Amino acid sequence: MPGFPSLPKRLHGPSIWALYILGFAPAIWAFYLGATGRLPGNPVKEFEHLLGIWALRYLIATLAITPIRDLIGVNWLRYRRALGLLAFYYVLMHFLTYTVLDQTLRLSAILVDIARRPFITIGMAALVLLIPLAVTSNNWSIRRLGQKWSHIHRLVYVIAAAGALHFAMAVKVVGPEQMLYLFLVAVLVAWRAVRRRFLRWRRERAGPVRSQPITNQ
């Protein structure tokens, strides 16, 4: 893997913790600004939207780990769990901001929103689907569930698609930003669909000499 010096093994663990700390930084910083009256305009909406957009970014980053390994040969698999969990925590904070700060716990209004507004229904479904993935994001569950674990975790593709759709359906006019996220998710889902065929084709082209073993994670 030319051009990408690999991280010394002893730094793998700390680098994951660094990712968690950096990953929560946008939420913590925006919360600090909002709580101290430093977010202009509509601070609750600003915070809510920031959490949503970062959730979508972490979901996309989670899905990008495999194609990056396949195509560039850089293995960032050790960061995937942290990215997936960050996405979950951001979706959860996004939901809590909507229910507590935005709707001020008006339960009937929240239930009507979830039931009647398709973009909120879709967003809510994505949050619910994320729960089993977050709960099973540990080594014990992976050992315990075996093959079933990877089947369950394929739900992340549905969740990412739901997230991008939720974003596009929430705005008054679908603009470049919404298009970008829809596009990225579409490319990543498409990669999943053609990945096996691509890897087989590349193996065959390389001939009998196996340059690098590629395992199915």
Partner 1 sequence: MPSTRVPKIAATDITPERFFLNRRSFIAAAAGSLALGPPGASRAAALEASASKFTLDEALTPEKDATTYNNFYEFGTGKGDPAANSANFKPAPWTMKIDGLVGKPREFGLEELLAFPLEERIYRMRCVEAWSMVIPWVGFPLAALLDKVEPLGSAKYVAFETVVRPEEMPGQSGYFQPLEWPYREGLRLDEARHPLTILSVGLYGKTLPNQNGAPIRLVVPWKYGFKGIKSIVRISLTETPPPCTWNLAGPNEYGFYANVNPDVDHPRWSQATENRIGEGGFFGANRRDTLPFNGYAEEVASLYAGMDLRANF
CB of 38 to partner 1, least distance (A): 9
Closer to partner 1 at the Cβ: 75 or 178?
Answer: 178
**Locus of tokens 């970062």:** 54
CB of 99 to partner 1, least distance (A): 12
| Cβ contacts of 61 within 8 Å, gap of 6 or more | 83
DSSP helix/strand/coil, 10? helix
Contact set with partner 1 (CB under 8 A): 34-35, 37, 39-45, 47, 101-104, 106, 109, 112-113, 116-119, 169-170, 172-173, 175-176
As a whole number of Å, the end-to-end CA separation of the chain is 19
Closer to partner 1 at the Cβ: 3 or 37?
Answer: 37
Closer to partner 1 at the Cβ: 122 or 188?
Answer: 122
Closest CA to 81 of 3, 145, 142: 142
- Contacts from 136-139 at CB under 8 Å and sequence distance 24+? 137/81, 137/84, 137/85
Residue 189 CB: number of other CB atoms within 10 A?
A: 15
CB of 84 to partner 1, least distance (A): 28
CB of 102 to partner 1, least distance (A): 8
Closer to partner 1 at the Cβ: 126 or 133?
Answer: 126
DSSP helix/strand/coil, 122? helix
